[in-house]
Structure 1
Amino acid sequence: VSWHERRALTGSSDDTMRLWDLDAGESLRVFRGHTHDVLCISVDWPTLRALSGSGDDSLRLWDLAKAEPVLELGGHERDVLCVDVDWAGGRAISGSNDETVRLWDITSGRLLQTLRGHEDHVSGVAATWPAQRAVTCSNDGSLRLWDLETGEALLELRGHSFHVLCVAYHYAQPSE
């Protein structure tokens, strides 16, 4: 939600996204392009861009002002469940039912890396871009810390007794 503009962007199992005016209580625009459920969205409100992930195994970069996709990112083999975006750096990271985490260049659409290690759906992802780190969680009950430069899993943690569905990540520079 953009609180300044009082807008929200939603994804639906009707294969669309909708931009809402929260003051007027109405839908402003419908976004069509995915061919299956829209499962995750990240929005850059200042530049009116969004990146969505879908059950059609793709991500789409959208121009919200024109209500049209400008780029499709294909490479996942199953539903894209989660996404985090470095809007200033032009990168995104996504997790999927295909058990992979993928790092993308969203200016060109190029797949930069595929990170493997989870043994079930990757259900959540959170990145700290300046530190080149991301944390993912999975239905395999684990979370993993990744080095985004090397693609290496730096740490695996287990403790939940069932699926881990979402994650938030905070990275603080060590004191010098």
Structure 2
Amino acid sequence: MRRTSRYPVKEANSLWHIYKTVPFWKVVKNFIVIQLARYTPFLPMKNWMYRHFLGMKVGEHTAFALMVMLDIMFPEKIQVGRNSVIGYNTTILAHEYLIKEYRLGDVIIGNGVMIGANTTILPGVIIGDGAIVSAGTLVYRDVPAGAFVGGNPMKVIYTKEEMVKRDKEEILTTNN
């Protein structure tokens, strides 16, 4: 289960109440910063913009590819560890506006994580250190450290333990 806080709304859908949940000028500033960063080819500058203007925690040597779309409303709820790669056109959300409620949740991406292109990460998800998320995946729940996941819906393709076992078997086979 994802870690989100739920906020019920009355009458109109929750998106209709958007500026009761997040200040208009914050959204404008975030939109401008995110759009500039989406197109900049300078990775250190992109990370600096995310840290200083959006309040995100971004680890050293982390690379956000071209066109990554961060949550415009609550980017400060996104944390990415060091030496991770966020693939082309990936979307990372920290909010969900639904009909009768909206939800907020931190997104935590560990160290040495590889996120494939065109992936969508939903709020309240933790992606463990060393995990690999294949391209086009909908990450709707936690990803264990070292796991390889993919698909829509997301499935664990193999875990770190299975990979270590395969590697040992391969070494034994090639040595014999």
Q: Do both proteins adopt the same fold according to a TM-score greater than 0.5, normalized to the shorter chain?
A: no
Whichever structure has more strand as a proportion of its residues is 1
* TM-score, normalised by the number of residues in structure 2: 0.34
Whichever structure has more helix as a proportion of its residues is 2
Higher-RCO chain (CA-CA 8 Å, sequence separation at least 6): 2
Q: Which has the larger radius of gyration?
A: 2
